[in-house]
Chain A
Amino acid sequence: MRFVSLFLNNRLTITPEILVNDSSLKAVPFSELPVVEQPPFNPTFQYNKKLQQILFGKQLLFDELSFTVDQIQRHYENGYVNYSTGVSKTSYGYVCSRCGNEKSRMFASFSCFRCKSDNCAYCRNCIMMGRVSECTPLVSWSGPEVKWSHENILHWNGELSSGQQVASQEFVERIGNEGELLIWAVCGAGKTEVLFEGIETALNLGLRVCIATPRTDVVLELTPRLKAVFPNTLVASYYGGSEEREVPAQLVISTTHQLYRFKQAFNIMIVDEVDAFPYSYDKTLQNAVSRAVTQNHFLLYLSATPSRTMKKAAMNGRLPCVKIPRRFHGFPLPVPKMVWGGEWKKRLESGKLPAHFVKFLKSQADSGRRAMIFVPSVIVLEKLTELIKKIVNVSVDSVHAEDPMRKEKVTQFRNEDIQFLITTTILERGVTVPFLDVVVFGADHDVFIESALVQIAGRAGRSKDDHNGKVLLFHYGKSLSMIQAINHIKNMNKEAGI
């Protein structure tokens, strides 16, 4: 966008080119404007409540707001809205103010029709949320804060296990203070319930709470549960394609990516699966978390498989940590069994399957139980699915990250319309289905690191009525990760005293 700078009421101010009729004023890209002080706050200005609710605690593009440029500009002139540069030049390249990206390979430039520059640089890292370029201002709210409700009632009659109880208490006691806490809970410990009381306490102090998770599937699963237990709280979910982004919400459930849209919004930030890809890989996502919280905030980390750095910090006391080693139903975690799969890769290429694996498929099909079969790559996924369909006469389907039918297939699997679901590591977390056995095909492959295998094994035996699901690792030579994962699970069972 281009703006002009002009004198208004004896002050230098800026205004979008399209709102000015005077062609003698020179329009320049937003990033080339002189530094202008924000107009002073006008307490008598009749501001738009809806704009306040949408924009408060956020950082959005003009294009994302369903308000005219004129409406937004009037809020700017009265000190209710702030503009800031989206992409700025640095001594070594560029930096994106929305996602914090600084990698030069993640910037590109184009001949921009909006600002007429031949080289308008834009950020490719957060492009999925709309393009932020040098000429794109980020719009944020600087007017009065939204006042949140102090009357949020938790509607939940369930009972916490003793492990859950301890963790819940630790969380509740810290509400209202700054700091951090790690809840290290085994898969199936029931970590969502652990959050309830703490969230209620926070909400009733008028604080704003966010649960950030790396996966859309988890957002979709958590949102209805939280809406049900907090019936008089404003709850909204944020994920690619969500329709609740304009709802003013005190409790937000968001994918870590969508956090880019927020700015100084949350007093309590709960980071789910803190070790999970892509959060642990992507530095800009960590930036997103620190950008989305208010200056004084409390961070709660949840994980079944904390990273080594986090475990170390917990061990030497730098990071307060509470463990839940036992599942909510009290039974031990199923320990994975290693099964020789031979040269699975070569066999697959020639259209064959390891004998043990075929035997497993047949008996599994007869048993009528569901199975999730994890594979190391999409190529293996396609070949294996084709072969399995030839061997067994039950409903078989496959799913991977870019599958447009992913959501539907997971639902079908839940409803028992699919008996065997072949999947990449994309479903290693979050999916909870009773009466399920889990198989890893090619468990010695590099993608199956310790935490991935622990998570995968954690899919089995989730329900009280079926607490002892099978976990089989078909391999061509034990990997270190496989051994570490099995030890990890055994240790947790030991710690739980079972």
Chain B
Amino acid sequence: MSYCLYCHESYSEAWSWEALIGLKQSPLLCQDCEGRLVRINGEICRICGRDFSVFPEQYRQGDSCFDCIRWEENEDWNGILQQNRSLYVYNDYMKEIIAKLKYRGDAEIVKAFYPVMSSEFKRISRNTIFVPIPLSEERHYERGFNQSELLAEGLNKSVENLLKRKTHEEKQSKKTREERLSQKENPFEVVDSNKVKEQKVILVDDVYTTGSTLRYAAKVLIEVGAKEVSSITLAR
């Protein structure tokens, strides 16, 4: 008998050969919770990794979505973020989980995604640096941890905190897309640019919403000489 890491209900694991011979890690969420999450694994946007099956057809052009096309058409942002890949659709249940993690401060929830994180991103080559999206000092204190950093730890790869936020600003989630895009100053700065030069960087964040946070972070990295920047997030 195990207890679900999210809802704390007891459940018994589904029997399988893989689990018996130790090929599959035992799940940390119960079947009910797991069932409410939607993995992204069908057709996706080439750039932002959004799941086309839950996306209106008319906002799609070929293998990209309109949002990404808009980003790429803007010369300031063209090619800044190579690509993003996300594990789950940001549905209501995922929103609840992330809210409990971030706003209630239940850090342990992140561990439910460690098995998926490490197996899904296992193939990523060795000479890349994983950089979590940082929080401002104030927000970090308020929350007690940085959820992106916790997520990155689940990759079993070397993680470096090479970014830093300049100032404390309003929460991204309280702003509209227009407000996010109209920020003039880049909120991020690179802590140690020597470590970034000529390197491939993968940013780690909890959610890709409009993509502006990740692109601002990518931009400062490119500016100090990073070869290319991509990102991975838990939800999209």
Contact = CB atoms under 8 A, between A and B. Distances in A.
A109 B8 CA distance: 16
Given A106-B8, A112-B144, A122-B107, 5 more contacts: A110-B108, A113-B141, A124-B106, A127-B105, A404-B92
B143 interface: yes
B140 A131 contact: no
A127 B92 CA distance: 20
A110 B144 contact: yes
Contacts of B8: 105-106, 124
Interface string B97-109: 0001000111110
B100 A113 contact: no
Interface residues of B, number: 18
Contact of A105 (B3, B100, B106, B141): B3
Contacts of B106: 108, 124, 127, 131
A114 B144 contact: yes
Nearest to B149: A111
Interface of B: 3, 8, 92, 96, 100, 104-108, 140-146, 150
A262 to B, nearest CB: 20
A131 B106 CA distance: 7
Interface string A146-157: 000000000000
Contacts of B144: 110, 112-114, 120, 131, 133
A35 interface: no
Nearest to A114: B144
Contacts of A122: 105, 107
Contacts, number: 44
Across the A-B interface, the 9 shortest Cβ-Cβ residue pairs: A108-B108, A131-B105, A110-B107, A127-B106, A127-B104, A113-B140, A114-B144, A113-B144, A112-B144
Contacts of A120: 144
A112 B140 CA distance: 10
A130 B108 contact: no
Interface string A115-139: 0000010101001101101000000
Interface string A392-417: 00000000001010000000000000
A402 B143 CA distance: 25
A389 to B, nearest CB: 21
Contacts of A402: 96
Nearest to A125: B8
A439 to B, nearest CB: 25
A294 to B, nearest CB: 30
Contact of A110 (B3, B96, B145): B145
Contacts of B108: 108, 110, 124
Contacts of B150: 110
A111 B3 contact: no
22 contacts: A105-B3, A105-B8, A106-B8, A108-B106, A110-B107, A110-B108, A110-B145, A112-B145, A113-B140, A113-B143, A114-B141, A120-B144, A122-B105, A122-B107, A124-B108, A127-B105, A127-B106, A128-B100, A128-B104, A131-B105, A402-B96, A404-B92
Nearest to B36: A402
A124 B6 CA distance: 10
Nearest to B101: A127
Contacts of B96: 402
